[in-house]
Amino acid sequence: MVFTSPTFLYAFLPVFLVAYFAMPGMVARNAMFVAFSLLFYAWGEPVFVGILLASTVVNWLVGMRLADLPAGRRKAVMALGLVWNLGILIAAKYADFILETVSAIAGVEMPKAGWALPLGVSFFTFHAISYLVDLYRGNVGAERSLLRLTLYITMFPQLVAGPIVRYRTIARQLAHRRATLWRASTGTRIFIIGMAQKVLVANQLGLAADVAFGLGDRLDASEAWLGLACYSLQIYYDFAGYSNMAIGLGFIVGLALPRNFDLPYTAQSITEFWRRWHISLSRWFRDYLYIPLGGNRRGALRTYANLAIVFLLCGLWHGASWNFVIWGTWYGVFLIVERAWLLGPLAALPRLLRTAYALAVVMLGWVWFRADTLPEALDYFRALAGSGGNGAVDAELAALVTGYSALVFAVAAVLALTPRWLWRRLRRASLPSTAAGRVPAAAARLAANTVWAGLLGLSMAGIAGSGYNPFLYFRF
């Protein structure tokens, strides 16, 4: 079940909200939240609900044991918890990739495990690991309530595609949270923004990106660059839209989930890009891998090695294939080069050139991310360089990037590339000055509500009129 499906919008969500707010206390509301979260997960992956629940119970038991043991005797229990969580992730996601790699190295054909990938396994294992590590470090206390820990790991807004929420971020909210009319109104607006990003922008651009990446040796340079631009915008609006919908849903029920994107395509270096893209994942790797490895405290060579390790694993976290290994390595190399040589010279360049550099690196990196295989990625790079193609514009691609789609592309690009400082100025300029009597407060509210209603109506129409509705990060 996805947030932009009729089943979710017209059945699951309204029934959940009615049932949730009908509960008389926080324990009952938590129980209802867990029940609907498990139903949400079981809708697409009923066979893996047992794994999700088993993982939750094991982490609860390990957490309580960690809390009861003195500091000197915790390491073995902590190691057990890490082995359990990483074991689930490796077995579910990387078994076939490991077997294929061993087969290629040894020259011996090995049978594949053939296990299906549990939905959201990368996210719920990272949630569990962050809980145990923070508990081990003494940053949080053990969650004695199995119900509350189950809610933390399984809550449906962020269960299958994030953002990655630290236990310490919402620990108090699991036991005490306030749901007010203002929170519900604000959460609804955030949800509508996310839905519009997904339905009105990402879905439309995704159609063109899929055609371009499927053209193979018929792809010309202009088509390749157009397809790559469409995909770059698609994945941003797709993932940012899902994150905003999750944040909005959380806000409605009183949960403050972390922001996951901050205008990443306006970054002026790759270092800055990773502070703005998938922020919850970047911070997770920083706090639970980069800093424990030594961070930047043990000399330049160790810092470079730590960056390489972190982004190699970041690539693997996204997918079990050599394309993702190269994608992670791609960013690791640029981060090392920037830290060693480029940050100073970059700072001397005009803002526009710095942004163009970062955007070019990111867009080219998306080729590794989007192509299904290594040969397909290499073919796409050749097309970008002008090698190959049939010299004719593909009719299907041309139809998908004209008229309404061209307008969507232009608006999406402008919004994605508008820097934060300009957003602030535009916001200040557009705020109605009711004190000066220029715009009555009632008229301002009416105009704002008209915008929200229009986005909602257009999004609903888009959902009803299109069968193309993937969420790209569901496969991670």
Token pair belonging to 426? 């535009």
Other Cβ atoms closer than 10 A to 447: 11
Task: Give the number of residues written for the chain.
Answer: 476
Query: Is there a contact between 170 and 377 (Cβ–Cβ < 8 Å)?
Result: no
Q: Residue 354 contacts by C-beta under 8 Å, 6 or more apart in sequence? A: 268, 269, 346, 347
Going by the DSSP 8-state scheme, the letter that residue 9 receives in this structure is I
CA distance linking residue 360 with residue 225, whole number of Å: 11
In whole angstroms, how large is the CA radius of gyration of the chain? Answer: 24
Q: What is the rounded distance in angstroms from the CA atom of residue 224 to the CA atom of residue 230?
A: 10
Active site residues: 318
Give the DSSP letter string of 123-161. HHHHHHHHHHHHHHHTSS-----HHHHHHHHH-HHHHTT
**DSSP secondary structure string for all residues of 195-254:** HHIIIIIIHHHHHHHHHHHT-GGG--HHHHHHHHHHHHHHHHHHHHHHHHHHHHHHHHTT
Do 264 and 365 form a contact (C-beta atoms < 8 A)?
no
How far is Cα 149 from Cα 52, in angstroms, rounded to an integer? 12
The string of DSSP codes covering 12-39 is IHHHHHHHHHHSSSHHHHHHHHHHHHHH
